[in-house]
Amino acid sequence: MKIKIPHLERRTRRDGGGRVIWHSFYWCPSAPLRRAGWKSLALGKDPDAAARMAIRQNADVARSCGPTTGTVADTIAAYRQDDEYPKVAATIRSYEQNLAQIERWAGTRQLAALAPKDVKGLKRALAATPYKANAICGMLRILYSFAIRDGLHPGPNPAASFRRITVQPRHQVWEPEHEAALARAALERNRPSLWIAMALSLYAGQRQTDCLKLEWQQYDCHRLAVRQSKTGVNVSIPVLGPLKRLLDVADHGTACIVTNEATGRPYAPDAFRHEIGALIEGIGLKGQLQYRDGRRTAVVRMHQAGLAIEEISGFTGHKIEACREIVETYLPHGRRITDAGIAKLESYYNKLEVPSAVPGPA
């Protein structure tokens, strides 16, 4: 669901032939705000940076309107201004989606009016979408923790005892035949960029956000230098196998490695999700595989190739426990006992000077 940030507008500059030259973002106050002295602000061309600045500006406006009335909406506005509000663009988008849902649900209600039974009712209402239910109720708990910490609410936190809905982790992985089908479909549609993006996920193990932002200058024909947007971790990724062959013959004339052929610009996240989703649906894998399964596939393949969990973590930027959880979820314990492992164990047993527990033939 796309969340609109109040007063944030995108303007387009076109050349004489009607082609888009660039987009730029502005914070545009309403007529009442203009009469109160608020002026338009240019926010630049980066959509993530513009969203952050628009949110801050809206919080300034809300704060200038006088003391808060103790409603959930007022608390959300105060929280957006807090130093601990996230700074990473992808996290901001997630928080904004969840806060917008909370504001629609209970924005006009007083903080003190919500009780644990209300949170339970909210979770029950969203039970059909458990990931969404967990995210929104978890966001509500964070919001109340902020309000208690800053003296906006005496407590207790009605979401403190919220229990997450148990969701079975995804274990789907891409198989080579799936890759081949997607690559063919992308080329048939004249969208090789979609296959490049998929290969970056499968063979570099990176998140969608980072794959879409990669620039050619980050690739030295041997490694990709990536500063992961979610964690801030710097990783140097060796480019091997199909990914290297693909990147070495790709068009290097654009700034970004993954460039939308229709616009000549990087993909907007929502546009990319729509395009790759349609491509996956077109090869008959809707409901079976998703783009995000590529990163999991990379972890599983590295483990099958013999890399240790710590080595995989250094490659993908996952936490070590996250890598271990992926491997534990996907691979049954018996299948992880490789021939090499059996050979090592047999060699070890043969060296033990332990008498056999089973007597030999008489």
- Give the tens place of pLDDT for each residue, 120-154: 999 999 999 998 999 999 999 999 999 998 888 88
Q: What is the pLDDT of residue 335?
A: 46
Residue 105's Cβ-count burial label (10 Å; 0-12, 13-18, 19+) is middle
- The whole-angstrom separation of Cα 362 and Cα 357 is 15
pLDDT at position 101 over 60: yes
Q: What is the signed CA dihedral for 60, 64, 67, 68, rounded to 10 degrees?
A: -40
The residues, any chain, with a CB within 8 Å of residue 304's CB and separated by 6 or more, are 331
Residue 28 in contact with residue 7, Cβ under 8 Å?
Answer: yes
Pairing of strands 41-44, 223-227: unpaired
In three-state secondary structure terms, 224 is: strand
Which domains, from first to last, does the chain contain? 1-66 (no CATH), 85-167 (1.10.150), 176-336 (1.10.443.10)
How large is the average pLDDT for residues 42-70? 75
Give 64-73 pLDDT, tens digit per residue: 655 456 789 8
Give the lowest-confidence range in 35-39, 112-116, 342-346: 342-346
Helices (H), 268-308: 269-282, 293-304
How large is the average pLDDT for residues 237-262? 91
Question: What mean pLDDT, rounded, does the chain reach?
Answer: 84
Give 261-282 pLDDT, tens digit per residue: 999 999 988 899 999 999 999 9
